[in-house]
């Protein structure tokens, strides 16, 4: 499936949440990841994620000039979402960050997550960046396993900036082609 995913997966920047059908798809994507949101607490009720909540989160992200929200589509349907941060708020941190990468729960284990990560890494590498970071909640061993399988290494442990949750910070060096 990996080669098919590469060929068919389209990434498009999200500009607004004013498109009701797209917002419905994004809400379904988030809702399909109930297990993750139960761990993260990002939504008040992981069993009842609503369009207005998703819109508020996406609009907050889009308001930040260093954030890019990318919607992943396969054959026209939303299968994933990636949120990246070009510059961390800590000026001592030179790396861009992956703030969120989710794949529709029905489409997981088909190569979409790996391909999304590869494409984000490539975008950063082509932009002259030599590494990328992300944080994984300590209560998310599946997430940690996914990222370490892709070559990310734990470089720090600290609370996340937004909610103070304990996390492992991972980094991957981006090799030039």
C-alpha 122/C-alpha 57 separation (Å) is 26
Q: Is the pLDDT of residue 140 over 70?
A: yes
Q: What is the pTM of this model?
A: 0.91
Determine the average pLDDT of the residues in 124-138.
95
The rounded mean pLDDT for the chain is 92
Q: Is the pLDDT of residue 36 over 80?
A: yes
C-alpha 167/C-alpha 62 separation (Å) is 24
Helices (H), the chain: 2-8, 20-32, 34-40, 51-62, 112-126, 141-149
Q: Under CATH, which number does the domain 2-173 receive?
A: 3.40.630.30
Q: Which residue is listed with tokens 């950063």?
A: 124
Q: Is the pLDDT of residue 73 over 70?
A: yes
Closest listed residue to residue 117, CA positions, set 76, 82, 162: 82
Determine the average pLDDT of the residues in 23-50.
92
Token duo for residue 147: 């990222």
């Amino acid at each position: 499936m990996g080669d098919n995913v590469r060929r068919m997966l389209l990434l498009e920047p999200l500009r607004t949440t004013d498109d009701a059908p797209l917002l419905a798809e994004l809400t379904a994507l988030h809702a399909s990841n109930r297990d993750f949101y139960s761990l993260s607490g990002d939504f008040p009720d992981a069993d009842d994620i609503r369009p207005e909540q998703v819109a508020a989160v996406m609009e907050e992200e889009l308001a930040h000039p260093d954030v890019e929200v990318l919607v992943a589509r396969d054959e026209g349907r939303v299968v994933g979402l990636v949120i990246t941060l070009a510059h961390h708020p800590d000026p001592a941190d030179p790396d861009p960050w992956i703030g969120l990468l989710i794949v529709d729960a029905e489409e997981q284990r088909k190569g979409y997550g790996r391909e999304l990560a590869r494409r984000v890494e490539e975008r950063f590498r082509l932009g002259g960046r030599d590494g990328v970071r992300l944080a994984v909640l300590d209560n998310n061993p599946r997430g940690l396993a996914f990222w370490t399988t892709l070559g990310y290494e734990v470089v720090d442990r600290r609370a996340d900036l937004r909610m103070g949750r304990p996390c492992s910070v991972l980094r991957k060096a981006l090799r030039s082609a």
